[in-house]
Structure 1
Amino acid sequence: MSPPPGSLLLEFQYLVVLDFESTCWEGKWNAPQHEIIEFPAVLLNLQSGEVISEFQQYVMPMEQPVLSSFCTNLTGITQEQVDAGVPLGTCICLFSKWMQHLCEQHKMSFCAAVPGNRVTFATWSDWDLEICLQRECTRKRIRKPDFFNQWADVKLLYKKFYRRSPKGLAGALQDLGLTFQGREHSGICDARNTATLISHMLHDGCVITVTKSLAPEAQKTRALLAIHGKKH
């Protein structure tokens, strides 16, 4: 795919596209204790429109270790795959090492103050990073790297740019004349297809920007202390 128009003016040169799969149960979409069972990511070069690296790791659920039949049928993830997976904390360490290697290789940085190519995360909705990862790390007291605290919500950017609400990721692709490749609700397939969608949105003139930021825990603590001090 040829570079998008105005690619030299992109705010970000790279995106890490994430799409977690988690434990789930029929009729219980708002269950409080989802656990990540597939942690996939693809690195998208926004100047070329190509995926240049991938990460995928199955994760062992600890709170409810037995997958529901609904979950297996929806995601295609088997009990054997999660039993052979790693705990979430270990997965985050493996992912961080993958990210560190890519940042060195492609001179990328999540911080605007650091010279080099800018990179951030992209997800289809805020669920992956604001709810799923955030809540599980909090419950399990897992240190979450600060780079997970901002991202581009592709679903929101799509709705604002095209002024229509798509019927899911597959529907968004179909609206642009594209076909979903692979299995829906496979995390790695969803991440790849989201990257394809982003590339076409760029070519149509959409600007990819950060849509959500969470304050790191240290900042939250300082803010709470400041509020507490004012009250007393």
Structure 2
Amino acid sequence: MESLKETSQPANKTSTSGGDQEEQCCPNASCEKNEEQDPPSPKQGDFSDPVYKEIAMANGAINRMNRDEMRAKCVELKLDARGVKDVLRKRLKSYYKRQKLMHSTAADGNRHAYFDYICVVDFEATCEENNPPDYLHEIIEFPIVLIDTCTLEIVDSFQEYVKPVVNPELSEFCVKLTGITQKMVDEAKTFNQVLKQAVSWLQEKELGTKYKYTFLTDGSWDMGKFLRTQCKLSQIRFPQFARKWINIRKSYGNFYKVARTQTKLICMLENLGMHYDGRPHSGLDDSRNIARIAIHMLKDGCQLRVNECMHSGEPRSVPISAPIEGALAPQMPKKRD
């Protein structure tokens, strides 16, 4: 739900008031802001391999190139030549780094992907043109797009519409924005039923058991606002397996070194030389386009890692120093007491 996120989404937390203790992401809740953080500098000796001097020299040469020169070099190397200058620069640097490390013993810690699969989620929810402060957004579309990080392809997807209960009649604004009609939600299952279907779908993929996976969203609202609000309305606990995720806006901004204003969905696509494919504000189409951005980032050398979690009822940033952990095996959450 891009328009709502763009106008309303806080940088690091939602307007949701406090939460239950079980909604902490970890026992000591060592979460901190990391929106503008780069990975910590290596300790002395970590970069002792001569290959890093070669990488630094290559980076210097790339920094001196103009956009046309970088595009020509991408074509020469058979890389994607689309994108703005910052994107091309990062792509070339990542390429040369991978190539040089591939032939060095220093590559040992750079070959492993963090996750086998990434699940992209972009909920659509009930809304008004001017939502009052206490408006309860109910999820009306539940999509998941599955990325295989080995093949760098979208390999499957899940989608179900959801029947709203508190505001069963969709506003005209909501219908126009999302393309979801009253008939679609009237004929849909309840959130609890749809969540159970989603859990079964994830289990069939052996995610969290055989394969390491995580979730990825366009901002904090999908998990921190929409899913949390919906779970309260449906009288179930927040799913344990969805407590940590990748906020691609933060990842994109940090990787390509661009301002937060350049991390909206359309901006990210355009900066990468791509166009939106499908209908804007369709949850499934939004998820697919977000997945395209994630795949592009992985190809450019970005190692997408979890950077947000749910703690005390609010989304918090996960420090860059936190261990890399996959999401828990999906299970249907328990009912609230």
TM-score range, shorter chain: 0.7 to 0.9
1:139 to 233, 255, 258: 233
- The structure, 1 or 2, with the larger RCO (C-alpha pairs under 8 Å, 6+ apart) is 2
Q: Which amino acid aligns with 2:124?
A: E
Partner of 2:297: 201
1:130 to 224, 230, 243: 224
Question: Is 1:13 aligned to residue 116 of structure 2?
Answer: yes
TM-score (ref. length: structure 2): 0.58
What is the correspondence of 1:152-191 to structure 2 with a 5 Å cutoff? 152-164=246-258, 165=260, 166=262, 168-191=264-287
Distance of 1:191 and 1:75 partners within structure 2: 13
Distance of 2:202 and 2:228 partners within structure 1: 19
The answer to whether the 8 Å contact 2:175/2:181 transfers is yes
Question: Is 1:101 aligned to residue 204 of structure 2?
Answer: yes
Distance of 2:263 and 2:203 partners within structure 1: 35
Aligned residues: 206
User: Any stretches of 5+ residues in structure 2 without a counterpart?
Assistant: 1-78, 80-93, 99-109, 314-337
Distance of 1:41 and 1:168 partners within structure 2: 20
Identity %: 36
The answer to whether the 8 Å contact 2:191/2:234 transfers is no
Distance of 1:216 and 1:13 partners within structure 2: 29
What secondary structure is seen at the aligned counterpart in 2 of 1:214? strand
User: Any stretches of 5+ residues in structure 1 without a counterpart?
Assistant: 218-232
Change (3 A) 1:9 1:92: same
Partner of 2:162: 59
Moved more, 188-197 or 7-16: 7-16
Q: Which has the larger radius of gyration?
A: 2
Distance of 1:67 and 1:131 partners within structure 2: 19
Q: Which amino acid aligns with 1:19?
A: D
What secondary structure is seen at the aligned counterpart in 2 of 1:39? strand
Whichever structure has more strand as a proportion of its residues is: 1
Change (3 A) 1:174 1:8: same
Shift of 1:167: 5.5
Question: Is 1:34 aligned to residue 130 of structure 2?
Answer: no
Distance of 2:132 and 2:245 partners within structure 1: 23
Q: Which amino acid aligns with 1:188?
A: L
Change (3 A) 1:55 1:201: same
Distance of 1:14 and 1:185 partners within structure 2: 24
The answer to whether the 8 Å contact 1:149/1:216 transfers is no
Distance of 2:272 and 2:133 partners within structure 1: 30
Question: Is 1:75 aligned to residue 186 of structure 2?
Answer: no
The answer to whether the 8 Å contact 2:117/2:213 transfers is yes
Partner of 2:333: none
TM-score (ref. length: structure 1): 0.83
What secondary structure is seen at the aligned counterpart in 2 of 1:190? helix
- After superposition, what is the alpha-carbon deviation per residue over 1:161-209, rounded to whole angstroms, capped at 9, x for unaligned? 1122326212110111011100110000000011100010111121211
What secondary structure is seen at the aligned counterpart in 1 of 2:296? helix
Q: Which amino acid aligns with 1:100?
A: Q
What secondary structure is seen at the aligned counterpart in 2 of 1:28? coil
Partner of 2:152: 49
Distance of 1:39 and 1:117 partners within structure 2: 22
**Segments of 4+ in structure 1 off by > 6 A?**
4-7
Partner of 1:228: none
The answer to whether the 8 Å contact 2:252/2:263 transfers is no
Q: Which amino acid aligns with 1:76?
A: G
Question: Is 1:121 aligned to residue 215 of structure 2?
Answer: yes
Q: Which amino acid aligns with 1:117?
A: Y
The answer to whether the 8 Å contact 1:153/1:211 transfers is yes
Distance of 2:270 and 2:304 partners within structure 1: 20
The answer to whether the 8 Å contact 1:19/1:190 transfers is yes
Distance of 1:88 and 1:200 partners within structure 2: 32
Change (3 A) 1:34 1:154: same
